Amino acid sequence: MPTTSIPHTLTPLPKAPSGINGIDVITDGGLPRGRPTLVCGNAGCGKTLLSMEFLVRGAMEYGEPGLFVSFEETREELISNVSALGFDLVDLEQKNLFAVEYIFLDRNDVEEVGDYTLDGLFIRLGHIIEQIGVRRIALDTIEALFGGLQNEGIVRAELRRLFRWLKERGITAVVTAERGEGTLTRHGIEEYVADCVILLDHRVHDQISTRRLRVVKYRGSTHGTNEYPFLIDTNGLTVVPITNLDLNHHVTNERVSSGVAALDAMLGGAGYYRGSTVLLSGTAGTGKSSLASAFVSGACERGETALFVAFEESPAQITRNMGSIGINLHRNIKAGLLHFHAIRPTTGGLELHLAMIADRIMRLNPHVVVIDPVTALMSQGFHGEVRALLTRLIDLCKQHSVTLLLTSLTGPGQDPEGTDLGVSSLVDTWLLVRNIETNHARTRGLYILKSRGMAHSNQVQVLQLSSDGISLEEDV
């Protein structure tokens, strides 16, 4: 009698979403559910924060009770430390969604006298796990358990027992470890036992510090393999994923106004495409910031949210100056529609600036973003590094259908139709403003170098800035 095969489907590895901006993108959905993840790195790189936020986000956003086991900081210290990030551990404890267990281990108590086992720790943790139904656990740090042991065989055996004990209970675990000399961890064993290994790094180059994250391995799952800059601020941890290599951004035929009616007319009568990237280049004093301000003001007048990243002027200075040409940015700020991120380029490296801008884009969810001027970042990196940053930023905005406008300063002696940024091929629309001398007077001229996917004017228009606003005239 013939036998029939029973069809089966391949089951993907279950994931536990971290809730941390960027990490779930890099790990293709989160950390391995019911398996241990090792987070290693030097002091001050963010290991404790990542493990803590994984538990807190799991409790707050996914209803999964968490247990944080600390061998270094007391419960009171941890509660105080994370309160600055807006995490209320006491409230979560009262809701039976969180527990902090501080275990003090004296190095003299951890000695190789007979058989060393973790049976006592298992009993203690097992009681709390059953009490609140723990689904996520963090152990910070693993070195405290084996600080006095020199026998590698005992360390390896007990590490395997610990990770197996957690797996048998289906608990998603994050274990932190200090980085060793030439190895990911001090013992050089933990990275081989864990199913997922995340390496955090905090480095200083030219007196500028940058934090980076890398997924070293992830059994049973695809993942990003590059180094990714990440930011720690009052909202927690934010990781900036790499550029979208698939180039599968969503596009639309919707158009958005430039904020200047005459410029819209030059762009086929309707302005820029929604989600496109606009480059506005020119020498100093040609009206780049004014056109950028008109763009964000027009978006706010439509009820849209705008983010203005300023590298050279304060929000108060920009607001005052734009008021002289009839652009009322103060009204947009009061309405909660216009948000400024003003910072000096020398505050941090390129990765830090990218992380901060990306963080604000993801939290504010703006419709339009202006960076004025993007060439200010040239002082913080080489040409290739700046171009890589802008590529990431452009792709991030396209993924979220954010219309991005970049202003670029053209220096003396430079080709007016060139740019140091090397991103002219990446932008969708390129406008150029320049000074034109006629009849012993200097006037501003504006023309469109390119605008993909739309009919546009090839004429040079006179750009006029007055108390009545911005206007364009045909006669140069």
Tell which residue, 54, 144, 65, 145, has the closest CA to residue 99.
65
Which pLDDT tens digit goes with each residue over 277-286?
Answer: 999 999 888 9
- Cis status of the peptide bond prior to 373, with omega within 30 of 0: yes
Residue 180: pLDDT band (50, 70, 90) is confident
- Give the model's pLDDT for residue 247: 67
- Give the model's pLDDT for residue 234: 80
- Give the model's pLDDT for residue 66: 95
Residue 414: pLDDT band (50, 70, 90) is low
Q: What is the dihedral of CA 462, 465, 468, 472, to 10 degrees?
A: 20
Q: What is the mean pLDDT of residues 42-60?
A: 93
- Give the model's pLDDT for residue 380: 65
What's the rounded Cα separation, in Å, for the pair 13 and 28? 11
Residue 108: pLDDT band (50, 70, 90) is low
Question: DSSP letters along 409-428, please?
Answer: EPPTTS-TT--TT--TTT-S
Assess contact for 389 and 381: CB atoms under 8 A.
yes
Percentage above 90 pLDDT, the chain: 46
Sign of CA dihedral 308, 312, 315, 321: negative
40: pLDDT strictly greater than 90: yes
47: pLDDT strictly greater than 90: yes
Q: What is the mean pLDDT of residues 14-20?
A: 92
Residue the block writes with tokens 């990030």: 85
- Give the model's pLDDT for residue 426: 85
- Give the model's pLDDT for residue 242: 57
Tell which residue, 110, 176, 136, has the closest CA to residue 128.
136
276: pLDDT strictly greater than 90: yes
59-63, 143-147, 237-241: least confident range: 143-147
Name every residue whose Cβ is closer than 8 Å to that of residue 198 and which is 6 or more positions away in sequence.
37, 38, 39, 40, 50, 213, 214, 215, 216
Residue the block writes with tokens 């970042």: 377
- Give the model's pLDDT for residue 329: 95
Tell which residue, 51, 59, 56, 54, has the closest CA to residue 83.
56
What's the rounded Cα separation, in Å, for the pair 466 and 262? 15
37: pLDDT strictly greater than 90: yes
Assess contact for 138 and 174: CB atoms under 8 A.
yes
Provide the phi-psi class of 472: left if phi over 0, else alpha when psi is between -120 and 50, else beta: beta
476: pLDDT strictly greater than 60: no
Tell which residue, 184, 2, 390, 437, has the closest CA to residue 175.
184
Residue 25: pLDDT band (50, 70, 90) is confident
- A 10 A CB-CB count for 182 gives 6
Which pLDDT tens digit goes with each residue over 230-271?
Answer: 888 888 888 876 555 456 778 889 999 999 999 999 998 889
Three-state SS at 26: helix
- Give the model's pLDDT for residue 314: 95
Instruction: Please indicate whether residue 88 or residue 119 has the higher confidence score (pLDDT).
Output: 88
Backbone angles phi, psi at 456, to 5 degrees: -150, 160
- Give the model's pLDDT for residue 48: 93
Assess contact for 87 and 19: CB atoms under 8 A.
no
User: In one letter, which amino acid is 251?
Assistant: V
Most confident of 154-168, 219-233, 322-336: 322-336
Instruction: Supply the angle between the helices 383-399 and 350-364 in degrees, to the nearest 10.
Output: 10
99-103, 118-122, 180-184, 332-336: least confident range: 180-184
Which pLDDT tens digit goes with each residue over 419-459?
Answer: 656 677 889 999 999 888 777 778 899 999 999 999 999 99
- Give the model's pLDDT for residue 144: 78
Q: What is the mean pLDDT of residues 58-76?
A: 93
Assess contact for 177 and 143: CB atoms under 8 A.
yes
Could you give the domains of the chain? 15-239 (3.40.50.300), 255-473 (3.40.50.300)
**Beta-bridge partner residues of 66:** 98, 136
Q: What is the mean pLDDT of residues 60-74?
A: 93
- Give the model's pLDDT for residue 2: 58
What's the rounded Cα separation, in Å, for the pair 12 and 266? 52
Which pLDDT tens digit goes with each residue over 350-379?
Answer: 777 888 888 899 889 999 999 999 888 876
219: pLDDT strictly greater than 80: yes
Tell which residue, 244, 249, 240, has the closest CA to residue 275.
249
Tell which residue, 239, 236, 235, 212, has the closest CA to residue 49.
236
CA atoms within 13 A on the CB side of 67: 22
Assess contact for 30 and 44: CB atoms under 8 A.
no
Please, what is the average pLDDT of the chain? 86
Tell which residue, 278, 321, 320, has the closest CA to residue 299.
278
What's the rounded Cα separation, in Å, for the pair 212 and 230? 6
Instruction: Please indicate whether residue 151 or residue 157 has the higher confidence score (pLDDT).
Output: 157
